[in-house]
Every structure is written in C-alpha cells, then in structure tokens.
Amino acid sequence: MPTFISPQQRKAWKALSTLPGATSTNLRTLLAEKDRQAKLQISAAGITLDYSHQRVNEDVMGHLLALAKESHVMEQALAMFQGKTINQTENRAVLHVALRGSHIQDPPWGSAISALIAAELLRVCLFAEKVRSGALAGFSQLPITDIVNLGIGGSDLGPRMTTSALVNQSQPPNGHPVKVHFVSNVDAWSLHNTLQNLNPAQTAFVVQSKSFTTQETMTLLASAKQWLMDGTCPKDQLHRHLIAVTASPDIALANGFKAEHLFEFWDWVGGRYSIWSAIGLPLAIAIGSYGFQELLAGARAMDEHFLDAPSEKNMPLLMALIGIWNTNFLGASTHLIAPYAAALNQFASFLQQMEMESNGKSTHIDGSSVAIQTAPLVWGSLGIDGQHAYFQLIHQGTHLVPIDFIGLREEHTPLPLAAEHHRVVMLNMQAQAQALAIGRTQEETLNVLLQSGLTAEEAKRLAPHRSFSGNIPSSSVWMDALTPRTLGALIALYEHKVFCQAAIWGIHAYDQWGVELGKTIAKEIESRP
C-alpha cells in the first residue's frame, strides 16, 4: 500500500495555492477573451458542458489537470471498473458501472458479473411489461393499476427522480395506464396521502431496500399489508400485491414475498448508485423496458467518454476539478444545482444524496483527519422558481454560491406554445449566468438610475443597494433533449464527478458510516422500558 499523500501536500495543490492572482480571477476579464465559450465547452453522450463562466484560466486548468494526474484519478477509475475492492471500509467492490453494461467486448469486471446482471435485467424488463400490459392481477383478479414504491434514500430518490422526469415520455401498451407512486417517509401522512385515493384490489407495492431492515421502510411495509387486508385482501393473497427489490433476499422471503416477485441486486451496488439495478423497476414500469434500457445506454455512453476521453476533454473530470477549485481555493462551501427544466424537479434532491452521502467525509483513506474542505453543501431546486425565492442571496448576499445550470436544447412538451415556454426558460437561464458573472458596478448602477430619471441625490442613495458584485461562477450543462438516454448520461456524469473528487480528496466515497449512530441511538431509545 503506497504511503498516503494528503491532497494539500501534492505539488499541483501547492502550485494552485500560490498561483498569483488565481483566486482573484475576474469573470468580466475572462469572458472578454476571444472564443472563450467555444474553447471551454465539451460534448459527449448527448450532454454539453459549458464551463466558460467558471473562474478559471489556462494556468488554473493546467495545475488542476496536473493535480488529477498526481492523484492517479484515472488509474483509480480503472480499478473501480475492474471490480477491485475500492470500498475498503466495507471490503466491497463498487460496480454500479457494470449494471449498465460495457462498450468493451470483454468488460473489465468479467463475464460472470455480466451474466448475473443480464439475467436480473431480463427479469425486471419482463415483469415491467407484464404490469404494463395489465397481466398482473391482484387477489380479486382485477389488473393492478397502481404501483406504490416503498423505500428511502437510494431506494427512493433515483426511481422517484427518473420516473418524475420521464413518465410522460411513454404511452402504456393497449392503453393500460399504470400509475407509479412513491412513499419514502414513515410519517403516516405520507402513506395515507397516497393510499387514500387507491383501490387495494388494484394496488401493488414495490418494497425497495438493499438491507431489507431499514426501519422506515419496514414500518411502511407493515402498514401497507394492513391496508390491503382492510381492503378485503386475504392474508394468503398478500403476496400478489408485494414485490421486493433487495440485496437481502432471505429477509424478504421470510417477510412473505414470493420468489417470482423478488428482484435482487448486490452488495457491490451502493444505494445512491443503484438506479441501474432492479431498483429501477418502478421506472421500467412507468416508461417501459425499452426506455429503461435507454437510460442504461446513456450511462454506458458517458462511461465510455469518461474512460476514453483525454483529461483536458474529460467532462466528469473537469467538473470535478472545477468543483475542487471553487470549494478548496475560492472558498465556496455550497454548490447550487439549478435545473431549468421542470421535469428535473427532483434532480437536486437526488444529487444531494449522491454527493453528500459519498463525499461528506472528514477522514482520509489512511485514517487521518482531513485538513481541507471536502464535499460542499449541495442544494437546489428548479432555477426559474429559485429566481423568485433565493437568487437574491446569490446575487447580493455574503456567500459565494457556484451554480450548475441544467438546460434542454430542445423541448418536446406537447403544448401548442411549448416553443415560447422554452424560449423564456432558456432566456432566463442564460441571463442569470451572465448577470451572476458580470454583475453591475456602483458607477454603472448610478448611470442606470440617472437614466431612469432619478435625481442625482436619489440615484446616489440607491446605487449601493442596487449594485451587483458579479464574479459568481457557474457551469451550464446542456442536454440535447430530455430522454431516458440523456438522463442516464447526466446521472453517470455526476457519478463520475463524485468519484474523481473523492480520488483527489483521498476519501472513501462508497461507505456511509455517518448514518449509523442515529440509527443505533434510535434503537437504544426504542429499547428503553
């Protein structure tokens, strides 16, 4: 095991720390550079990353790329794809990438794993089509029309986000409409709010839990069973309405699930990386098995780009390095995800778990404590709504908030004036990136106020309140259009970005020991007399 070198000891990190003027880069100056936007754009797998509005120049990018090289990021990536035990605190491989298949004939993880994955994917697709065709019947022999996903964290956020984004993109065969609902919270209101309008005879529950021990999900399962029986489902017919997706099949079988309604994934798939596995079943039911395989294909295309593209043109690596620049050198402690596509209304919540549960760590892989910032606070919501809620703070507050804007090149919503809606949305996304970068000085504001007819005295009084510092960095991530394939690529883009940052920070991204203490104390409290 080579001696661990903390990131701040690396030559490139030291160079970045002492680069004259690097942290005082000004976007007004940078954006005046000829062809900057064309130079700082990369396209792959239906995604385009425009990082021209980031506070980086050639020197900074050069040292960041050197940092990636010094940190052996791509060698570590290969180890992941080869199924090496990189999750060292749980002694597991990390092979969510295998779930979406490989562009390489002989995949690095080996044919045995590929065969295991293919067999389960086939079962998932066949079952999804069975439900969509109306062939899944409940205790009363009526077809199942409503699927309720019970799960939390990675057993909810991925299926919920992708289904929410793509559900309108597919029509069920023979017009059999199956609706997919999601309940994650153990608060009774959540389950009641969903079930109150459903018919037990035509409702089935997909119970998603890698461990099949999560208290919230198990409580929801018990409640769902009671609801079915209160709806006249005989106890020995409950299994018709229960589907399990888990890495703990024995526990599920002991809970009354039948083998034909049990779908497996494996311990080398982290919950927050599991949408590609049978955890994607609700999505496959919602959009069809073809759409689900398109999602996998999009991620596979991004995997190919990540493994094959040179570092200076490697989208996930560059996003990772820019994030490190903003967090560790410009001092930003948060990172805003602002989709300008309402279908991505769950994307920020999904990324919160992926980024903050992966890289919200303060211990290096060698057990030493970090002396640098690691994952920033990732937050966000739809950008258009954010403009009318919290963008004030970003423009004129005291926090530096780097932003990922996410937009669609094409809009396909079947509304007569969809093109006009899209024009307004895109106009705002571009205007915000520009306004945050360029700002407006007090002198410029004074002139604007004078030209608006204010007296010199009034303009002078108001100018400080109506000026903008600017120099706030952002990236624009463009999807050609919102399809299962481009959404798969987008998710994989962020997965690999998270990987690269962990590799450079020297932290473990695939365990989550931080969630254990709360659970332990809850059990202690529960056991008290």
- Position among 87, 164, 209, 346 found at the interface with ligand F6P (CB under 6 A): 209
- Give the contacts of 302 (CB within 8 A, at least 6 positions apart): 44, 45, 47, 315, 316, 488, 489, 490, 492, 493, 496
Instruction: Look up residue 443 and give its two tokens.
Output: 């002198």
Rounded CA separation 290/300 (Å): 15
Q: Is-catalytic flag, 519? A: yes
**CB closer to ligand F6P, 274 vs 432:** 274
Stretch that binds ligand F6P, among 51-59, 147-155, 328-336, 455-463 (CB under 6 A): 147-155
Rounded CA separation 325/201 (Å): 55
Stretch that binds ligand F6P, among 32-40, 79-87, 146-154, 484-492 (CB under 6 A): 146-154
Determine the 3-state secondary structure of 101 from DSSP: coil
**CB closer to ligand F6P, 12 vs 244:** 244
Start-end of H helices in 86-135? 96-99, 111-132
Q: Is-catalytic flag, 357? A: yes
Rounded CA separation 467/25 (Å): 20
Minimum distance from residue 382 beta carbon to ligand F6P (Å): 24
Minimum distance from residue 520 beta carbon to ligand F6P (Å): 12
Q: Is-catalytic flag, 388? A: yes
Minimum distance from residue 92 beta carbon to ligand F6P (Å): 13
- Position among 101, 138, 154, 506 found at the interface with ligand F6P (CB under 6 A): 154
Q: Closest residue to ligand F6P, Cβ-based? A: 271
- Position among 194, 202, 203, 217 found at the interface with ligand F6P (CB under 6 A): 217
CB atoms within 10 A of CB 230: 9
Query: Quick one: which of 292, 253, 281 has its CA closest to 170?
Result: 292
Minimum distance from residue 277 beta carbon to ligand F6P (Å): 11
> Counting contacts by CB under 6 A, is residue 185 touching ligand F6P?
no
DSSP result, 190-216: HHHHHHTTS-GGGEEEEEE-SSS--HH
Total chain residues near ligand F6P (CB under 6 A): 14
Is residue 428 classed exposed, middle or buried when 0-12, 13-18 and 19+ CB atoms within 10 A define those classes?
Answer: middle
Instruction: Look up residue 5 and give its two tokens.
Output: 């070198």
- Position among 153, 282, 323, 488 found at the interface with ligand F6P (CB under 6 A): 153
**CB closer to ligand F6P, 357 vs 411:** 357
Stretch that binds ligand F6P, among 27-35, 142-150, 152-160, 494-502 (CB under 6 A): 152-160
Gyration radius of the chain's alpha carbons: 25
C-alpha distances in Å from residue 125, one per residue of 121, 173, 203, 289, 483: 6, 14, 19, 5, 18
Query: Quick one: which of 483, 96, 59 has its CA closest to 276?
Result: 96
- Position among 211, 255, 311, 349 found at the interface with ligand F6P (CB under 6 A): 211
Write the binding mask 476 to 515 for ligand F6P: x where contact by CB under 6 A, - elsewhere: ------------------------------------x--x
> Counting contacts by CB under 6 A, is residue 210 touching ligand F6P?
yes
**CB closer to ligand F6P, 50 vs 511:** 511
**DSSP type of residue 506:** T
Minimum distance from residue 485 beta carbon to ligand F6P (Å): 25
**CB closer to ligand F6P, 71 vs 149:** 149
Rounded CA separation 61/267 (Å): 37
Minimum distance from residue 140 beta carbon to ligand F6P (Å): 30
Q: What is the dihedral of CA 501, 503, 506, 510, to 10 degrees?
A: 90
Instruction: Look up residue 278 and give its two tokens.
Output: 């049978």
Stretch that binds ligand F6P, among 163-171, 204-212, 284-292, 323-331 (CB under 6 A): 204-212
Contact at 8 Å (CB) between 263 and 244? yes
**CB closer to ligand F6P, 32 vs 517:** 517
Contact at 8 Å (CB) between 288 and 167? no
**CB closer to ligand F6P, 210 vs 240:** 210
One of 192, 235, 313, 519 is an active-site residue; which one? 519
Rounded CA separation 322/358 (Å): 18
Query: Quick one: which of 71, 117, 124, 99 has its CA closest to 495?
Result: 99
Which residue's structure tokens are 């090496």? 84
Minimum distance from residue 494 beta carbon to ligand F6P (Å): 16
Write the binding mask 370 to 409 for ligand F6P: x where contact by CB under 6 A, - elsewhere: ----------------------------------------
> Counting contacts by CB under 6 A, is residue 271 touching ligand F6P?
yes
One of 216, 294, 357, 495 is an active-site residue; which one? 357
**CB closer to ligand F6P, 267 vs 444:** 267
- Give the contacts of 388 (CB within 8 A, at least 6 positions apart): none
Which amino acid, one-letter code, is at 354?
Answer: M
- Position among 225, 261, 272, 300 found at the interface with ligand F6P (CB under 6 A): 272
**CB closer to ligand F6P, 92 vs 305:** 92
C-alpha distances in Å from residue 273, one per residue of 130, 148, 180, 278, 480: 26, 21, 21, 12, 24
Determine the 3-state secondary structure of 284 from DSSP: helix
**Any idea which residues carry the catalytic annotation?**
357, 388, 519
Which residues are at the interface with ligand F6P (CB under 6 A)?
Answer: 152-155, 209-211, 214, 217, 271-272, 357, 512, 515
